[in-house]
Copies of this chain bind each other. A is one copy, B any other.
Amino acid sequence: MNEPGGAPVLIRSRDNALLKELRRLAQDSTAYRKQGRIWLEGDHLARALLARGGRAELAVFPESEWPQAQAEWGRAAPKSVVVADALFDGLSTLESPARMGLVLTLPPVPDLEPQAPTLVLDRLQDAGNVGSVLRSAAAFGFRQVLALKGTAALWSPKVLRAGMGAHFGLRLMESLEAAALDALAVPLLTTSSHQGELLGSQPLPWPCAWAFGHEGQGVSAELARRAARAVRIGQPGGEESLNVAAAAAICLHLSAMRREAGPKL
């Protein structure tokens, strides 16, 4: 590592202790919980972090990118390390490995805000789906996200990648029991593919909490019991069922539209 302005340490051994920790962070989806820090891979995520005023503790570059990378990313983190290219590529689980990464401290868990527009994730499995849903939540003003136990790890590299920076504008809580939802003072809405009122046919409450469930099983019976309302998305094309992230986008967007425009939409 280097001090600001100094020459960084160059890691050339795959057994280097720091490199081993980085590898675990990059490849094990829950390693961040043990290490208390997050691996952000790629310049898009890094830019999203900085745009939100975030700061990393460490910047990591492949050797061939140094020192040009220092000019671009020197202020992203107080320290940098440079890793031999083949070892850097070995960190990544992405199909096309990125050219830089940041390590940042896992943000402290925020307090639950009872009145906030909220997204509840009930055992969503697929990292791409979770990331897409976080993007939709951020876009449509649902800044509090409660992930129940069994949901994909929110700060894992794959969810971060799919979230495209949405994480940094959200208040994220995870590994919750359903009982934690008792603290919410806003109505809980669930979706179903085959029952409930038709989405769009009734006014939607604001603020509210939208819950989305497991890709195959939907929301749990326990969550369904807590719901103020169940809605279904009309699918005039037939009995196809939507991808859960697609369903979430539709519901969150309609909530936001109705809030802005009133009942005319």
Contact = CB atoms under 8 A, between A and B. Distances in A.
A246 interface: yes
A257 B260 CA distance: 18
A140 B241 contact: no
Contact of A250 (B126, B164, B169, B253): B253
A246 B244 CA distance: 10
A108 interface: no
A46 interface: no
Interface in A232-246: 233-238, 240-243, 245-246
B243 A135 contact: yes
A166 B138 CA distance: 29
Interface string A163-185: 01110010000000000000000
Interface residues of A, number: 43
Interface string A218-250: 000000000000000111111011110111111
Interface of A: 126, 128, 131-132, 135-143, 162, 164-166, 169, 200, 233-238, 240-243, 245-250, 253, 256-257, 259-261, 264-265
A-B pairs, 10 with minimum CB distance: A246-B249, A141-B237, A139-B235, A132-B243, A139-B240, A138-B240, A250-B253, A249-B249, A128-B128, A139-B237
